[in-house]
């Protein structure tokens, strides 16, 4: 029979590594998925999730069961992601895709390109300030209630509601800028989608 999360946390607080492994198993995929949406970078999400679980392990003694354990884990992940995004903004980077490649096209297996809708949604999420991105992702992707989100980001429920509303409005405006391609795809306005 599976232990409840509070019992697992008590065991982790006592140094039980098997209980910690169970917590990682329970949350790993959800945290990576959340961080991937948050950062727009899967590898960065994996790295941040590892750092999240390191902090969960070493700070387990600080957890108090007044809020759900999941709220505490997501708060750690959110804080790490916000810090990483601030650090990234300070660095001048050029995406690898924009660098000229000395290799011939098709020399390597490429990932299937995103549909226009997915690409536009990613662009819109990337443009959304973390103040709004975090509550929107926690609500619409992770399924947390507004009360749980308030505990995670340590803001009043009214602030959470407003940020979700503003974040969704921004995403809607950005996605409304997209046009439907005659071939059935979705493209950004002004983007050439004719065939050669």
Based on the domain organization, do 87 and 143 belong to the same domain?
A: no
99, part of any domain: no
101, part of any domain: no
Q: Which residues pair with 188 in a beta bridge?
A: 178
Check whether 186 has a pLDDT greater than 60: no
> Which CATH number characterizes residue 163's domain?
1.10.10.10
Which pLDDT belongs to residue 135? 92
Query: Burial of 155 by CB count in 10 Å (0-12 exposed, 13-18 middle, 19+ buried)?
Result: middle
* Number of domain units in the chain: 2
**149, 136 contact by CB (below 8 A):** no
149, part of any domain: yes
Q: At 188, which helix (H) or strand (E)?
A: strand 186-188
Based on the domain organization, do 60 and 143 belong to the same domain?
A: no
Check whether 192 has a pLDDT greater than 50: no
Least reliable range by pLDDT among 105-109, 126-130, 181-185: 105-109
Residue-number span of the structural domain to which 125 is assigned: 113-190
Bigger pLDDT: 187 or 59? 59
**46, 32 contact by CB (below 8 A):** yes
> Which CATH number characterizes residue 61's domain?
1.10.1740.10
Domain boundary among 91, 121, 148: 91
24, part of any domain: yes
107, part of any domain: no
Least reliable range by pLDDT among 49-58, 82-91, 113-122, 145-154: 113-122
Which pLDDT belongs to residue 172? 86
Based on the domain organization, do 9 and 84 belong to the same domain?
A: yes
Which pLDDT belongs to residue 181? 47
Check whether 95 has a pLDDT greater than 70: no
Based on the domain organization, do 87 and 122 belong to the same domain?
A: no
Q: At 71, which helix (H) or strand (E)?
A: helix 69-90
Which pLDDT belongs to residue 112? 52
73, part of any domain: yes
Based on the domain organization, do 37 and 122 belong to the same domain?
A: no
82, part of any domain: yes
Check whether 168 has a pLDDT greater than 70: yes
Based on the domain organization, do 1 and 74 belong to the same domain?
A: yes
| 120-137 residues labelled b (16+ CB within 10 A) or e (exposed) | bbebbbeebeeebbbbbb
20, part of any domain: yes
DSSP string, 43-68: HHHHHHHHHHHHHHHHTGGG--TTS-
Which pLDDT belongs to residue 115? 62
Based on the domain organization, do 5 and 81 belong to the same domain?
A: yes
């Amino acid at each position: 029979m599976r232990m409840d999360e509070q019992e697992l946390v008590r065991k982790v607080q006592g140094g039980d590594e098997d209980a910690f492994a169970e917590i990682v198993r329970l949350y790993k995929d959800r945290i990576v998925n959340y961080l991937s949406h948050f950062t727009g970078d899967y590898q960065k999400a994996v790295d941040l999730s590892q750092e999240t679980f390191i902090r969960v392990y070493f700070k387990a003694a600080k957890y108090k069961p007044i809020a759900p354990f999941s709220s505490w884990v997501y708060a750690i992940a959110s804080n790490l992601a916000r810090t990483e995004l601030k650090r990234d903004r300070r660095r001048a980077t050029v995406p690898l895709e924009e660098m000229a490649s000395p290799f011939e096209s098709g020399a390597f297996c490429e990932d299937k390109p995103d549909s226009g809708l997915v690409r536009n949604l990613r662009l819109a999420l990337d443009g959304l300030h973390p103040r709004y991105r975090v509550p929107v992702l926690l609500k619409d992707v992770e399924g947390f209630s507004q009360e749980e989100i308030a505990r995670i980001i340590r803001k009043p429920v009214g602030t959470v509601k407003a940020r979700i509303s503003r974040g969704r409005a921004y995403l809607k405006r950005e996605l409304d800028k997209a046009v439907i391609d005659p071939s059935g795809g979705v493209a950004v306005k002004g983007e050439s989608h004719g065939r050669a």
